[in-house]
Structure 1
Amino acid sequence: MFTISQIEAAQAKVQTGADFPAYLHDIKQLGVIAFTFEVSSSRETYIGNEGFQVSSVAKYEEINIAPAVNAIQFQRELKEHQEGKSDFPYFIQMCAAQGIASWKVDLLARTCCYYDLQGGEVFIELIPA
């Protein structure tokens, strides 16, 4: 099974959102099938086969999530992030400001779903191959 150290080594290669597909490929090779990210605490939980899970420690100071979602602005800034125009710390702050509380990446379905504070789906995107 995989370790947080292996995942962090894959994360170290990521500079902008444009690097995300390569990162997903790398962690899938480790055996990750899905992961969640909690924006307020910056904690990640990585899921493997047969219920295997590992979780990270917080990487950033805790931040508050806006109670109202601005889905249109979020999608604009998500696109810019994916084009390499922002780094991950900025992306997290932007998510919080636009009401995004968490996301889940499903590597088998090749989707990323973003959620609000109540756990409602805000936006689902397909991950390019």
Structure 2
Amino acid sequence: MFTLQQMKAAHAKVKTGADFPCYVQEIKALGLKRYTYSVTDGTTTYYGENGYQVPGPAIYEPKVINPVASPEKLRYFIEIHQQGQTDFLTLCGQVATAGVRQWVVDTERMLCLYEDADGREMVVEPIPDTGY
């Protein structure tokens, strides 16, 4: 089963949103089924088969999540990030202002689901197949 170090090593290769599909293919190949990313403090929990999970530490000071969700703002922030116009930490700050509490990367369905403070889906993005 995968380790936190393997997840971190794969993530370290991501420089822009354009690198994300290859990253997902790599972590999927390691046995990852899904992960949740908390925008509040950057904690990530990675899930594998049979209830296997690996938690990661917070990576930044807590952010305030806007209680008013704005899917329109979120779509814009995702779009410019995918174009390489923002780095990861900038994206995290932007999506917090759009009301995102966490996102879930589902490697089985190849989807990234952004959730508001109440756990409702705001935006669901397909993860492109890279032919990996």
Q: Which residue of structure 1 lines up, in the alignment, with residue 13 of structure 2?
A: 13
For 1:73-112, list aligned pairs within 5 A: 73-112=73-112
Secondary structure of the residue aligned to 2:86 is coil
Deviation at 1:85, TM superposition (A): 1.1
Paired AA for residue 8 in structure 1: K
Q: TM-score w.r.t. structure 2 length?
A: 0.95
* Unpaired stretches in structure 2, ≥5 consecutive residues: none
In 2: Cα distance, 1:6 partner to 1:105 partner: 17
**AA aligned opposite 2:104:** K
* RMSD, aligned α-carbons: 0.7
Q: In the aligned structure 1, how far is the partner of 2:75 from the partner of 2:108?
A: 23
Query: Which SS does the other structure have where 2:74 is aligned?
Result: helix
Matches within 5 A, 1:12-91: 12-91=12-91
For residue 15 of structure 2, give the secondary structure of its aligned residue in structure 1.
coil
Cα shift at 1:77: 1.4
Residue 4 of structure 1 aligns with which residue?
A: 4
Cα deviations by residue, 1:12-71 (Å, 9 ceiling, x for unpaired): 111111110111011111110100001102110100011100010001111110110111
CA drift of 1:109 comes to 0.6
Contiguous gaps of at least 5 residues in structure 1? none
Identity of aligned residues (%): 40
- Partners of 1:16 and 1:46 lie apart in 2 by 21
Provide the rounded CA distance (Å) in 2 between the counterparts of 1:109 and 1:78.
19
TM-score normalized with structure 1 length: 0.97
